Amino acid sequence: MTPAHSAIKPTQWIAFRELLWNLTWRDIRVRYRQTMLGIAWAVLSPLSMMVIFTFVFGGTQVSTEGIPYALYAYCGLAPWAFFANSLNGAANSIVAHRSLVTKVYFPREVFPLSCVAGALVDFCISLMLLFGLMAYFARFGGHAPRIGSALLMLPVVIVVQILLTVGLGLLVSMANLFYRDVRSILALALQLGLFVSAVVVPLPSRGSTAYALLSWNPMVSLMQSYRDCLLHGRWPEFGGLTYAAAVGVVVVGVSAWLFRRASPRFAECV
C-alpha cells in the first residue's frame, strides 16, 4: 500500500521516459506539420539573427580572435536559441496543458522537460548548419577551421547547458502557474540576456567592473566554451565550465525538489 502522493518509483521512470518521448515527438511533429518550410524553421531563427548581427557588428572592431564575425555570432546564437526556446516553451508548458493537468495524473515534470528536449532537437539541426557554415568559410572566406580533439568536449558543454536549461525550465514553468507575469518577464529577460551573455559580442576586457559583474553569468562561460571547442579548436577553460556545471547542478537540484513539492497543488492553481 502506498500513499496517494509519493515520489516517482523507479519502475515508473520507464513509462515516464516514454511519455516524455511521446510529448516531445508530438511537439516537433506538430511544429513542422502544415508549414511550408518545415524543419528549416529550426535554423531560420539563429540564421536570420546572424545575418542581422553581421550587418550591424560585422564591420566594427569586435574582437573575435580572427574568426569571421558571422561564424562567431552563429556559434553563440545557435545555443542561445536552444536556451531561449526551451525556457519560453517551458514557461507556458503547464498552463497550456491545463486540461491534462487537472484531469490526468502523471509526473508534471514531463511538460517543461519535453520543451527542453524539443528545443534540443532543433539545436542539433542548427549545429549541423554550423559545420556547413564552417565549410563555407573555409572554402570562400579563407578561414581554415581549427577542428581538433577539443571537439570531444562539445557533448560535455551541451550537457552542462541542458542542466542549466532544465533547472531554469522547471522553475519558470512552476512560477508561471502562480504568476502569469513570469512568461512576459522571462521573454524580456531573454532578450536582454542575449547582450550580457557573450552571445554576439564578447565580454568587456578582463579587469573592468563590467567584466567582474558579467562573468558571474554561467551562460558566459558556456558561450565561450562552445566557441573554444567549435571554432578555436582549443579545450574550454576548465574553471568557467566547471562553474557553469556547478550552477547547473544546484539549479536542477533545487528546482526539482521545489517542483516535486509543489506539483500536487498544480491542478488547483492552473
Partner 1 sequence: MMSEPAILCRRISKRFRLGRNSWAIRGLMKRLGFHRHDPGPATHDSAKIWALRNVCLKVSPGESVGVIGPNGAGKSTLLRLFARVLKPDAGELRVRGRVTALIEVGAGFHPELTGRENVFLSGSILGMRRAEIRSKLDAIVDFAGIGRFLDVPVKRYSSGMHARLGFSIAAHVDPEILLVDEVLSVGDAAFRLRCMERMRELLSGGTTLVLVTHHLDQMTGVCKRAIVLDGGRVAFDGAANEAAGHYMRAVSQAHAIRATDVVEGEDQRAIVGDVQLRLQNDRRDEAPWFRAGEAIRAEVSFCLRERVDSLLIELNVRAASQELVLSFNTGRANRSLALESGRHQVLLTIPEVPLCSGQYFWNVRMWDGDRGATLVDTPMCFPMVMDDEGKGTGRLALRHEWARITGESGEKQKSAPIETTLAPVTLPREKELVG
Total of chain residues touching partner 1, rule CB under 8 A: 32
Q: Which residues between 134 and 153 bind partner 1 (CB under 8 A)?
A: none
Is 19 among the residues that bind partner 1 (CB under 8 A)? yes
Stretch that binds partner 1, among 96-104, 115-123, 212-220, 227-235 (CB under 8 A): 96-104
Neighbours of 213 (CB within 10 A): 12
By C-beta, is 33 or 206 nearer to partner 1? Answer: 33
86 in Cβ contact with 119 (< 8 Å): yes
Is 261 among the residues that bind partner 1 (CB under 8 A)? no
Is 265 among the residues that bind partner 1 (CB under 8 A)? yes
Q: Which residues between 184 and 223 bind partner 1 (CB under 8 A)?
A: none
49 in Cβ contact with 191 (< 8 Å): no
Instruction: Write each residue from 30 to 59 as x if it is in contact with partner 1 (CB under 8 A), else as -, in one continuous string.
Output: x--xx-------------------------
207 in Cβ contact with 218 (< 8 Å): no
CA–CA gap between residue 30 and residue 35 (Å, rounded): 9
The 10 Å CB-count burial string (b at 16+, else e) for 22-47 is: ebbeebbeeeeeeeeeeeeebbebbb
| Chain positions contacting partner 1, by CB under 8 A | 1-5, 14-15, 18-19, 22-23, 26, 29-30, 33-34, 97, 99-106, 178-179, 264-265, 267-269
